[in-house]
Chain A
């Protein structure tokens, strides 16, 4: 029972983290029609910035805030210097160009921070276990991640659905020429959206940093997961990304936690312990394959064009 609740919360936490990453990706994809493989690099940069700034200022929160600002700026600079020129080009060009950016970022990080990973220590008040149910404790930091991510998801929803900027973003997603013709500065809008996506990726990275090590290439595995999510959810759909992220986070975490035991009941011990890790890593890809075969446009296609 304890384990189930704990793993359930872990799954939720991981799913919400994935949502932060996927939200930026799906916004950029849905609105600018840009496939950004370098999104994972922004996630990595968020983590590196946070570890550095936290060490400088001596405060986790201050470091996190500075890192958030830094990733936002980095995203805006990246958009204005390079990615802006890719809009309207073939998706394949996007893949190639942003693949180059991944190489660049990984190498730049190696040059600046060295090949060894960094650690981002948590302040003491975030490390204590919190009782959530009678007899069940859960780490405060993971609860904090859940809370922050839910808050961001809510703000994002309200921002996109209820504000003027959000309206422009949605309008840009359905017909970019038209809103350009209506006198909206679409270049600025795109830069803003990209910056927002970068900041969300940075937030995901810096929140994940204390749990995992901050290291080169940390963005790549999770980027693929984020892509799986936006494909399952339907490209360009924030709601789809949210649901798919929770779903994927749950399946991945619960699969890793419980699959070995389940398999052990069917297979022999040795076979189960070798098959389980591979099978639980495969689960989400299997899920994606099934979803795409059944609904080639994802579960919640944003707009049918």
Chain B
């Protein structure tokens, strides 16, 4: 066991808070906070999946919101066509995300640096326009999901508490998976590629293949977040894939601390709570949020996790 540190203590506190939140919500009768945190947990899951390729793999995807849409549309479209079972909807959502990630990953990974950022962005915009063109499924206006995924009595997504815990379990599961991946041989190779691709290739690792697999895993995880998000809002629209949503996800990852296990969760919690809090005190919340992001970039290297780490040493 490593020594006690500030960042670990804060992480543990945050996780305990997430687990105990429904209790607080029931005791205080504040239902809104549970709805808010369900959204936060789902987006934390998306941010964690982005962190896998961005933080550990060094692949700066600016189109990650596309998976949110693909996962969401898989659920929405199947529900529309009368397939209500979650046992079909969720695997389809994951498979569709994986397939999309495989195709765009294979193309995008031919480029690097800013070109990679831009090509992933371009593909996400394409997905956005495809969704806008789906007249049968609402087009621009989006698609209402009238019935949440049905897990035949196993778990009831209509129940707020059960749904919250499902999302939280998915988040913890994904983080556990990322932890195992990062510490596996595969994960070490991917991290090695982030540091020095040429050297890794010289040792004999097929760089692109490793990166592509990592990219697909990340996209699949985010597809899960998309399927949950559609269930949470009972609605899916092209807007979830818009490029500013991808930007939001990036902000969460960087804000929390890129390349740390729990940083993205922290980032999602802080970003979305800040958005909620600021929008309550002023209608013009972005006026404060924007410069705040700038200041975080300028002075807060390594995000919240980085700052906590420094505070611990300081």
Contact = CB atoms under 8 A, between A and B. Distances in A.
B129 A289 contact: no
Given A278-B133, A285-B123, A289-B107, A103 B286 contact: yes
Interface string B230-265: 000000000000011001001100100010000000
B168 interface: no
Contact of B119 (A89, A111, A277, A288): A288
B129 A96 contact: no
Contacts of A220: 243-244
B287 A104 contact: yes
Contact of A100 (B111, B115, B291): B291
Contacts of A35: 114, 117
B293 A224 contact: no
A156 interface: no
Nearest to A82: B294
Contacts of B113: 91
Interface string A216-258: 0000100010011001000100000000000000000000000
Contact of B126 (A85, A110, A282, A296): A282
Contacts of A99: 247, 250-251, 293
Nearest to A83: B294
A277 B121 contact: no
B286 A107 contact: yes
| Chain B CB within 10 A, most for which of A82, A91, A96, A231 | A96
B297 interface: yes
B303 to A, nearest CB: 10
A91 B114 contact: yes
Contacts of A77: none
A124 B247 CA distance: 42
B122 A96 contact: no
A103 B114 contact: no
B134 to A, nearest CB: 8
B35 interface: no
Nearest to B251: A96
Nearest to B293: A100
B284 interface: yes
25 contacts: A29-B114, A35-B114, A35-B117, A91-B60, A92-B250, A95-B60, A95-B117, A96-B250, A99-B250, A99-B251, A100-B291, A102-B290, A104-B290, A111-B284, A220-B244, A228-B118, A275-B133, A277-B133, A282-B129, A285-B129, A289-B107, A289-B126, A292-B118, A292-B119, A298-B115
Q: Which 6 A-B pairs have the closest CB atoms?
A: A278-B133, A100-B293, A104-B290, A103-B290, A107-B286, A274-B135
